[in-house]
Structure 1
């Protein structure tokens, strides 16, 4: 399947082979995506504006329909004692982990949103401790073992998640779906997709454009 993306005076043609393409669904936890989640009040304005939940549902469903590999990229679920004896936990780990216990293991907030739960054939990567789904996990190994060369990155958070950038560093073709992610402020979305993303992503697209490309492909 081929996808043509035009932006900033250039046209990029990408090929998404179903046997070599994966959808990376990052941190689809209740604390991020559900009413009552600890971080949902911060994310809700932007998420509502871009239609995040509907777009996530659409991309995952289209990926499954097109026989793309779906990988869940989960953040570490906080457990008692996490970070307490670390030399230098990050500001996010201190605030979200030590203080607020975001994504706590064994709690509703640390469960996947009910619309984004693994299905047969999906892969769940090892939990990552910080912003990259690759660092200190088996994600790169899992992608290579499944023959993946192209990744479509969706989920949370647009401006802090470095999974897409790390994927590029490891040699993967990276697609960012600008309205299948969200952040806490519009300025953060602008930075993610207009300032930082173009430096590493091969394609930055919308859900509608991606679905059109997948629907036209042969699978």
Structure 2
């Protein structure tokens, strides 16, 4: 089991009840958010903000383990990516992290129907994940544009595959992962977050991973480690 620093360790005497989510493979999916170079690679434009947390939680390796286990278990796998096209850079307003992403040209693509320069760019998937994502079976949704899946077809795709339970992982903890968690819960899905298969920003404004972890404890149907998730996938 993953060892967490005292800052991230669960309370010894929690006050909230455990939802006790029971994984059922026949209605479960692994959803991985933004498994892309710009988030997860030292070559990505945001590494200076997210790299420390990614390394601390071994996020890249844990996501790969989840992909492999989900494929072995035969459950639905979906990826919800982030792409920005030239028209998106003409937005007239945005929040702080939106402005950072646009200033860095994070997840940049030349257009929705144009893949020139896409391969191995910051918007591309991490190379070690491509065998799982590009197998012709994994759902690759339309891009989400800010943080949540309200603007893409994730919920539709999951329902069309008979999914009502979601194992959630990817980037970033207090941004897209938390936003996906909240929307999927509102859409009636049962959601478990894999706490060490994500990471958060570290800035003077605060520890994004800690902020997300606190909210996961309050609202997720389950909060598992990668090891716990692998065990459930192998025996469910």
Q: Structure 1-normalised TM-score?
A: 0.88
Task: Provide the secondary structure at the position in 2 that maps to 1:135.
Answer: helix
What's the offset of the Cα at 1:184?
1.6
Task: Provide the secondary structure at the position in 2 that maps to 1:78.
Answer: coil
Match of 2:101 in 1: 96
Larger relative strand fraction: 1
In 1, the alpha carbon distance for the partners of 2:232 and 2:188 equals 23
What's the offset of the Cα at 1:213?
1.5
Is 1:126–2:133 an aligned residue pair? no
Match of 1:47 in 2: 54
Match of 2:185 in 1: 168
In 2, the alpha carbon distance for the partners of 1:155 and 1:18 equals 20
In 2, the alpha carbon distance for the partners of 1:7 and 1:129 equals 39
Aligned length: 207
What's the offset of the Cα at 1:7?
8.0
What's the offset of the Cα at 1:11?
4.3
Change (3 A) 1:12 1:33: same
Structure 2 residue ranges without an equivalent (≥5): 1-11, 110-116
In 1, the alpha carbon distance for the partners of 2:65 and 2:105 equals 30
**Cα deviations across residues 93-149 of structure 1 (Å, max 9, x unaligned)?**
32211x2110111341111110122123110111011000x2121111111100000
Is 1:139–2:143 an aligned residue pair? no
In 2, the alpha carbon distance for the partners of 1:7 and 1:52 equals 27
In 2, the alpha carbon distance for the partners of 1:38 and 1:29 equals 11
**Cα deviations across residues 184-215 of structure 1 (Å, max 9, x unaligned)?**
23832121112x11232100110111111222
**Contact 2:195 2:213 survives alignment (8 Å):** yes
Change (3 A) 1:211 1:187: same
Q: Structure 2-normalised TM-score?
A: 0.82
Q: RMSD of the TM alignment (CA)?
A: 1.9
In 1, the alpha carbon distance for the partners of 2:159 and 2:26 equals 12
In 2, the alpha carbon distance for the partners of 1:37 and 1:214 equals 31
Of the three residues 71, 74, 95, the one matched with 1:67 is: 74
Larger relative helix fraction: 2
**Contact 1:22 1:152 survives alignment (8 Å):** yes
**Contact 1:83 1:89 survives alignment (8 Å):** no
In 1, the alpha carbon distance for the partners of 2:96 and 2:18 equals 39
In 2, the alpha carbon distance for the partners of 1:12 and 1:166 equals 18
